[in-house]
Amino acid sequence: MLTTAQNAAILEDDYVHAVVDMACLFHNDACYLVFAAAQLFPAELDAPAEEQPTSYPVKILKSKGRLVRRRYLVTAKQAQAWYHNCLKGEVQLLKGDEQSYRPLHEKLFPEPSWPHLATTEDFVAVSDVMGALRVHHLMPRECPSVLSQLCDAAPAAVAWLCSELGIDFLRHPEQFGSVHLLLPNPVLRYLQIKLHIDAHGAEKSLLRLSPRRNHSVSGLEAMMVEHRPTGISAIQTVTAEGSYLEIPHAGTAEKFELFIRCPVRGVLEWKKDRSYVTEGHLGLEVIGTQKVIQVPGKDGLSFTVDVRERVSEQVIGKPGRANSIPARLRQGQYDRQRTLAAEGLGQKWLHRNQEEATAFVRQLIGAGKHRVWIIDPYFATPELFSFAAATAYLSTEVTILTGASTALTKPDVNDKEKEAGEVMLLNTSHSDMKHIQIRVMTGAMPTVHDRFLVIDNDVWFTGNSLNSLGERAGMMIKLPAPEPVIDKISQVLHDPDRTKTLADWVKHRLETRESAPCSRFIKLLRWARKLKGQAFSRPHPPSTLQPLVLKVDNKINEISVELEKKP
């Protein structure tokens, strides 16, 4: 009666047919395991239809490859034997393909410990059989490097994998290189749960258990755990003698969990976080007219908006229960959870206290142990000393991404005769600033508009520039999913078409500025100031310098310098 895996939870008569679903990457004459799952079919189900292999071309590191998905139709015994080999570290292709290729994979670790199984209704992949699954997983400790390169180099190929397997690998990267055993419920075809309230107002749950062919529900145990806002109120277990079960509630049902357990196979069904809907509100809306909006100054740009009108409302079901205390308690819990989530993300409102905002940002920067990235299009010399120099660890590497047109081409706040970019380059050339690297976003407008602080593996976001944070009302918050943002910022930092190092930008700026009309004007203005200073430094007869006239882009700019005799 027992399988070769010596697992009493998998009975020999429960399953007949199976599918071993495998996806592999063929690249540089090697075969890499992408994902694999062996799914057994309950005995009453026929074998699924044969499917042809599907593939998708990819290109990684300038060399071509191909993703291939193959569904092998096998018997349940063959699928279990295949998975048993996977447990020993021998992942193989089937039906002759193993003679040509042997999939390469990381070392796989069982979850949970074999032969124990986990029961879930939320498996990450799409199952051929509806309902809860008993599952076992073989997982690598980290994503294989070649599959990480696949995500970066061929996002379209990853999207193809998602459509083929029903797995969003971008949200579940831990599934790359994994192997799974999927066991649909072999006893129950369907489970129905319904709330019943008798004439006296007493509540109970009615369960209908629909067995599969050649199976019986007799002996199955139904366990219901009732949850109240402040804890568990009841745990009740009923043993099935037929297809219908009644489980009385401890008062009114709020939320509950339901387990269906077989004494031999273990937990077959798990309904988590359930509740009954006793009242519903339906509203009917119609689109009566459309309004056209014309945007001024946008080359005739316009758009339409559907005008909706609610024409009816209807309440279905019974009115809410008289006891509103649970609802009030759960609302309080919800509000506290949101407050705790905001505190965990460092949500902070900054207004009318620039010193507080500056101290807050300096504290964040000082906590960075490995890296600090400051992305601010208006970052210049004052911010360099006020924020970038606030690191507390000697090993912290600081990278600043600022804007050329928004910050560095303007006169420095302290040295008006030099641009901010020149002064920043001089300041960062000092020995105590060698750990600070500055990159400049070129172009008419910076690539990045908002402001970000990357502190080690955390990302803080704010709409205000650091030099005005706290002066005007603004918000800072730590992003809940920092990795994608770090990847995007890193792409901008290392894009030679959109950014340059500060040294390269200043060099190019000085070279091109000599021929720029505006730069000639600034140069003449500096010469005039210098000439005026020399006039004050030595005696000479009274004279008046005629107004200088400089023609720049067909515009006349006059500079009047009066020279007076020094007494």
Average pLDDT, the chain: 86
Q: What is the length of the chain?
A: 567
- Confidence band (pLDDT; 50, 70, 90) for 473? confident
Every domain of the chain and the residues it spans: 15-184, 188-275, 348-508
The model's pLDDT over 308-353, given as tens digits with 9 standing for 90+, comes to: 988 899 888 876 666 688 889 999 999 999 988 888 888 888 888 8
Q: How far apart are CA 369 and CA 460, in angstroms?
A: 16
CA distances from 55 to 23, 58, 487 (A): 9, 10, 28
Parallel/antiparallel/unpaired status of strands 451-455 and 371-375:
antiparallel
Q: How far apart are CA 133 and CA 266, in angstroms?
A: 12
The model's pLDDT over 34-56, given as tens digits with 9 standing for 90+, comes to: 999 999 999 999 999 989 999 99
Least confident span in 70-84, 420-434, 527-541: 527-541
Residue 4 has pLDDT above 90, yes or no: no
Tokens of 119: 């029961």
The model's pLDDT over 115-147, given as tens digits with 9 standing for 90+, comes to: 999 999 889 888 899 999 999 999 999 988 899
> How far is it between the farthest Cα atoms of the chain?
122
The model's pLDDT over 258-314, given as tens digits with 9 standing for 90+, comes to: 999 999 999 999 999 899 888 888 999 998 889 998 888 767 788 999 999 888 998
Tokens of 25: 């990457």
CA distances from 209 to 22, 195, 212, 222, 265 (A): 34, 15, 10, 10, 17
CA distances from 139 to 89, 93, 118, 204, 522 (A): 11, 18, 14, 42, 65
Q: Is 397 strand, coil or helix?
A: strand
CATH number of 188-275: 2.60.40.10
Query: Can you give the pLDDT at residue 467?
Result: 80
**Predicted TM-score (pTM) of this structure:** 0.72
In this prediction, residues 533-556 reach a mean pLDDT of: 44
Q: Is the separation of the CB atoms in 443 and 403 below 8 Å?
A: no
Per residue, the 3-state secondary structure of 123-174, as one string, reads CCCCCCCCCCEEEEEEEECCCCHHHHHHHHHCHHHHHHHHHHHCCCCCCCHH
Q: How far apart are CA 23 and CA 452, in angstroms?
A: 38
Residue 96, CB-side half-sphere exposure with 13 Å CA sphere: 0
Q: Which of 3.40.50.170, 3.50.50.60, 3.30.870.10, 3.10.20.30 is the CATH number of 348-508? A: 3.30.870.10
